[in-house]
Chains A and B, each alone.
Chain A
Amino acid sequence: GNSVTQMEGPVTLSEEAFLTINCTYTATGYPSLFWYVQYPGEGLQLLLKATKADDKGSNKGFEATYRKETTSFHLEKGSVQVSDSAVYFCALSDALGKSTFGDGTTLTVKP
Protein backbone atom coordinates (compact mmCIF):
# COMPACT_ATOMS: atom_id res chain seq x y z
CA GLY A 1 0.00 0.00 0.00
CA ASN A 2 0.88 3.66 -0.03
CA SER A 3 3.09 5.16 2.64
CA VAL A 4 4.60 8.51 3.58
CA THR A 5 7.71 8.88 5.72
CA GLN A 6 8.52 12.22 7.26
CA MET A 7 11.61 13.48 8.98
CA GLU A 8 11.26 12.92 12.68
CA GLY A 9 10.84 15.92 14.89
CA PRO A 10 10.60 18.01 16.79
CA VAL A 11 12.58 20.64 14.93
CA THR A 12 13.67 23.81 16.71
CA LEU A 13 15.09 26.74 14.76
CA SER A 14 15.92 30.37 15.37
CA GLU A 15 14.01 33.04 13.49
CA GLU A 16 15.34 33.61 9.95
CA ALA A 17 16.96 30.17 9.79
CA PHE A 18 16.59 27.88 6.78
CA LEU A 19 14.05 25.09 7.07
CA THR A 20 14.02 21.65 5.47
CA ILE A 21 11.55 18.92 6.41
CA ASN A 22 12.18 15.71 4.50
CA CYS A 23 9.38 13.62 3.08
CA THR A 24 9.57 10.45 1.00
CA TYR A 25 6.72 8.36 -0.27
CA THR A 26 5.79 4.98 -1.69
CA ALA A 27 2.83 4.73 -4.02
CA THR A 28 1.62 3.01 -7.14
CA GLY A 29 0.58 5.13 -10.06
CA TYR A 30 0.81 8.90 -10.03
CA PRO A 31 -0.37 10.37 -6.75
CA SER A 32 -0.68 14.03 -5.94
CA LEU A 33 1.51 15.27 -3.09
CA PHE A 34 0.64 17.80 -0.43
CA TRP A 35 1.97 19.61 2.60
CA TYR A 36 -0.57 20.53 5.24
CA VAL A 37 0.00 22.65 8.36
CA GLN A 38 -1.79 22.35 11.68
CA TYR A 39 -1.71 25.19 14.20
CA PRO A 40 -2.52 24.43 17.85
CA GLY A 41 -6.20 23.66 18.40
CA GLU A 42 -7.06 23.81 14.72
CA GLY A 43 -7.68 21.51 11.79
CA LEU A 44 -5.19 20.95 9.00
CA GLN A 45 -4.78 23.59 6.31
CA LEU A 46 -3.40 23.02 2.85
CA LEU A 47 0.01 24.68 2.55
CA LEU A 48 1.00 23.62 -0.97
CA LYS A 49 0.55 20.87 -3.50
CA ALA A 50 2.08 19.28 -6.61
CA THR A 51 0.21 17.04 -8.98
CA LYS A 52 2.92 15.64 -11.26
CA ALA A 53 6.63 14.97 -11.45
CA ASP A 54 8.87 18.07 -11.37
CA ASP A 55 6.00 20.31 -10.30
CA LYS A 56 6.98 22.84 -7.64
CA GLY A 57 4.35 23.84 -5.11
CA SER A 58 4.81 27.12 -3.29
CA ASN A 59 2.94 29.26 -0.80
CA LYS A 60 3.86 31.82 1.89
CA GLY A 61 7.58 31.36 1.20
CA PHE A 62 7.41 27.55 1.49
CA GLU A 63 8.36 25.37 -1.47
CA ALA A 64 8.43 21.68 -2.33
CA THR A 65 9.29 19.89 -5.58
CA TYR A 66 7.73 16.57 -6.67
CA ARG A 67 10.74 14.35 -7.36
CA LYS A 68 9.64 11.06 -8.89
CA GLU A 69 13.18 9.69 -9.29
CA THR A 70 13.83 9.97 -5.55
CA THR A 71 10.15 9.65 -4.49
CA SER A 72 10.53 12.76 -2.38
CA PHE A 73 8.68 15.98 -1.64
CA HIS A 74 10.86 17.91 0.81
CA LEU A 75 9.50 21.13 2.32
CA GLU A 76 11.79 24.17 2.40
CA LYS A 77 11.64 27.78 3.51
CA GLY A 78 14.49 30.23 3.29
CA SER A 79 13.75 32.26 6.43
CA VAL A 80 11.34 31.01 9.08
CA GLN A 81 9.33 33.22 11.42
CA VAL A 82 7.94 32.59 14.89
CA SER A 83 4.49 32.43 13.32
CA ASP A 84 5.57 29.35 11.31
CA SER A 85 5.60 27.28 14.51
CA ALA A 86 3.15 24.44 13.87
CA VAL A 87 2.92 20.77 12.92
CA TYR A 88 3.61 20.00 9.26
CA PHE A 89 2.19 16.94 7.50
CA CYS A 90 3.30 15.49 4.19
CA ALA A 91 0.52 13.60 2.40
CA LEU A 92 -0.41 11.90 -0.83
CA SER A 93 -3.72 11.16 -2.52
CA ASP A 94 -4.03 8.49 -5.16
CA ALA A 95 -6.44 8.25 -8.06
CA LEU A 96 -8.81 6.10 -6.00
CA GLY A 97 -9.18 8.84 -3.41
CA LYS A 98 -7.20 7.11 -0.71
CA SER A 99 -5.15 9.54 1.35
CA THR A 100 -2.01 8.75 3.32
CA PHE A 101 -0.41 11.17 5.77
CA GLY A 102 3.01 11.20 7.37
CA ASP A 103 3.35 11.30 11.16
CA GLY A 104 3.80 15.06 11.23
CA THR A 105 6.82 17.16 12.17
CA THR A 106 6.56 19.73 14.94
CA LEU A 107 8.40 22.95 14.16
CA THR A 108 9.20 25.49 16.87
CA VAL A 109 10.76 28.78 15.84
CA LYS A 110 12.38 30.83 18.59
CA PRO A 111 12.84 34.62 18.39
Chain B
Amino acid sequence: DSGVTQTPKHLITATGQRVTLRCSPRSGDLSVYWYQQSLDQGLQFLIQYYNGEERAKGNILERFSAQQFPDLHSELNLSSLELGDSALYFCASSVESGTYEQYFGPGTRLTVT
Protein backbone atom coordinates (compact mmCIF):
# COMPACT_ATOMS: atom_id res chain seq x y z
CA ASP B 1 0.00 0.00 0.00
CA SER B 2 1.61 3.25 -1.21
CA GLY B 3 -0.59 5.52 0.92
CA VAL B 4 -2.03 7.21 -2.16
CA THR B 5 -5.77 6.70 -2.58
CA GLN B 6 -7.85 7.13 -5.70
CA THR B 7 -11.59 7.05 -6.21
CA PRO B 8 -13.50 5.63 -7.88
CA LYS B 9 -11.77 2.40 -8.79
CA HIS B 10 -13.87 1.91 -11.91
CA LEU B 11 -15.96 4.33 -13.93
CA ILE B 12 -18.14 3.61 -16.94
CA THR B 13 -19.68 6.49 -18.81
CA ALA B 14 -20.88 7.53 -22.26
CA THR B 15 -19.25 9.67 -24.91
CA GLY B 16 -19.76 13.38 -24.42
CA GLN B 17 -20.04 13.10 -20.65
CA ARG B 18 -17.88 14.64 -17.93
CA VAL B 19 -16.27 12.82 -15.00
CA THR B 20 -14.14 13.72 -12.00
CA LEU B 21 -11.40 11.52 -10.63
CA ARG B 22 -10.16 12.08 -7.11
CA CYS B 23 -6.76 11.53 -5.52
CA SER B 24 -5.50 11.85 -1.95
CA PRO B 25 -1.70 11.95 -1.67
CA ARG B 26 0.42 10.29 0.99
CA SER B 27 0.43 12.12 4.26
CA GLY B 28 3.00 14.92 4.10
CA ASP B 29 3.45 14.87 0.32
CA LEU B 30 3.01 18.23 -1.37
CA SER B 31 3.19 17.21 -5.04
CA VAL B 32 0.55 15.36 -7.00
CA TYR B 33 0.97 13.97 -10.50
CA TRP B 34 -1.59 12.60 -12.96
CA TYR B 35 -0.88 9.98 -15.60
CA GLN B 36 -2.87 8.24 -18.30
CA GLN B 37 -2.01 4.63 -19.14
CA SER B 38 -3.44 3.12 -22.30
CA LEU B 39 -2.40 0.09 -24.32
CA ASP B 40 -1.43 2.04 -27.42
CA GLN B 41 0.29 5.04 -25.80
CA GLY B 42 1.86 3.64 -22.68
CA LEU B 43 2.17 5.79 -19.57
CA GLN B 44 1.70 9.48 -20.35
CA PHE B 45 2.42 12.25 -17.86
CA LEU B 46 -0.49 14.68 -17.80
CA ILE B 47 0.11 17.32 -15.15
CA GLN B 48 1.75 18.04 -11.81
CA TYR B 49 0.66 20.22 -8.92
CA TYR B 50 2.78 21.37 -6.03
CA ASN B 51 1.15 22.78 -2.90
CA GLY B 52 -1.90 23.92 -4.82
CA GLU B 53 -0.18 25.36 -7.87
CA GLU B 54 0.37 23.88 -11.31
CA ARG B 55 4.07 23.04 -11.65
CA ALA B 56 4.55 21.01 -14.82
CA LYS B 57 2.39 20.13 -17.78
CA GLY B 58 2.67 17.14 -20.06
CA ASN B 59 0.43 15.75 -22.75
CA ILE B 60 -2.82 16.93 -21.26
CA LEU B 61 -5.72 17.63 -23.61
CA GLU B 62 -7.63 20.90 -23.38
CA ARG B 63 -10.75 18.89 -22.49
CA PHE B 64 -8.96 17.78 -19.32
CA SER B 65 -8.26 19.94 -16.30
CA ALA B 66 -7.01 19.40 -12.79
CA GLN B 67 -6.63 21.20 -9.52
CA GLN B 68 -5.12 20.66 -6.11
CA PHE B 69 -7.07 21.84 -3.09
CA PRO B 70 -5.81 23.39 0.19
CA ASP B 71 -6.00 19.98 1.90
CA LEU B 72 -3.69 18.76 -0.92
CA HIS B 73 -6.12 16.32 -2.49
CA SER B 74 -6.44 16.63 -6.24
CA GLU B 75 -9.14 16.16 -8.83
CA LEU B 76 -8.80 15.44 -12.53
CA ASN B 77 -11.77 16.55 -14.62
CA LEU B 78 -12.34 14.95 -18.00
CA SER B 79 -15.02 16.46 -20.23
CA SER B 80 -16.56 15.82 -23.65
CA LEU B 81 -15.36 12.26 -23.29
CA GLU B 82 -14.39 10.25 -26.35
CA LEU B 83 -13.92 6.52 -26.80
CA GLY B 84 -10.16 7.09 -26.95
CA ASP B 85 -10.17 8.47 -23.42
CA SER B 86 -10.76 4.97 -22.08
CA ALA B 87 -7.67 4.20 -20.02
CA LEU B 88 -6.24 3.74 -16.56
CA TYR B 89 -5.65 7.05 -14.81
CA PHE B 90 -3.02 7.06 -12.11
CA CYS B 91 -2.30 9.61 -9.48
CA ALA B 92 1.09 9.76 -7.79
CA SER B 93 2.54 11.92 -5.05
CA SER B 94 5.98 12.96 -3.87
CA VAL B 95 7.29 14.86 -0.91
CA GLU B 96 8.43 17.83 -2.99
CA SER B 97 8.53 18.93 -6.60
CA GLY B 98 11.41 17.97 -8.83
CA THR B 99 13.68 14.97 -8.88
CA TYR B 100 11.93 12.94 -6.22
CA GLU B 101 10.52 9.43 -6.36
CA GLN B 102 6.79 9.15 -6.79
CA TYR B 103 4.31 6.91 -5.00
CA PHE B 104 1.47 5.70 -7.17
CA GLY B 105 -2.14 5.06 -6.33
CA PRO B 106 -4.02 1.98 -7.54
CA GLY B 107 -5.58 3.87 -10.45
CA THR B 108 -9.05 4.57 -11.81
CA ARG B 109 -10.14 2.53 -14.80
CA LEU B 110 -12.27 4.70 -17.07
CA THR B 111 -14.37 3.09 -19.77
CA VAL B 112 -16.14 5.34 -22.25
CA THR B 113 -18.89 3.63 -24.24
Residues of A within 8 A of B (CB): 30-32, 34, 36, 42-46, 49, 51, 89, 93-104
Which residues of chain B come closer than 8 Å to A93, judged between CB atoms?
A: 98-100, 102
- A-B pair number, CB within 8 angstroms: 66
The answer to whether B101 touches A49, judged by C-beta atoms less than 8 angstroms apart, is yes
- Tell me the minimal C-beta distance from A32 to chain B in angstroms: 4
Compute how far the CA of A49 lies from the CA of B98 in the bound complex, rounded to whole angstroms. Answer: 14
Interface size class of B (residues with CB under 8 A): 20 to 34
Which residues of chain B come closer than 8 Å to A44, judged between CB atoms?
A: 43, 90, 92, 104
- Tell me the minimal C-beta distance from B53 to chain A in angstroms: 11
Residues of B within 8 A of A (CB): 2, 4, 31, 33, 35, 42-43, 45, 48, 50, 55-56, 58, 90, 92, 97-107
Cross-chain pairs A/B with CB under 8 angstroms, 7 sampled: A42-B106, A43-B4, A44-B43, A45-B104, A49-B101, A96-B97, A97-B97
Which residues of chain B come closer than 8 Å to A100, judged between CB atoms?
A: 45
- Tell me the minimal C-beta distance from A40 to chain B in angstroms: 12
Compute how far the CA of A58 lies from the CA of B23 in the bound complex, rounded to whole angstroms. Answer: 29
The answer to whether A97 touches B2, judged by C-beta atoms less than 8 angstroms apart, is no
Compute how far the CA of A103 lies from the CA of B39 in the bound complex, rounded to whole angstroms. Answer: 10
Q: Which residue on B lies nearest to A31, using beta carbons?
A: B99
The answer to whether A43 touches B106, judged by C-beta atoms less than 8 angstroms apart, is yes
Which residues of chain B come closer than 8 Å to A99, judged between CB atoms?
A: 33, 45, 48, 56, 58, 102
Which residues of chain B come closer than 8 Å to A46, judged between CB atoms?
A: 101-103
Q: Which residue on B lies nearest to A29, using beta carbons?
A: B99
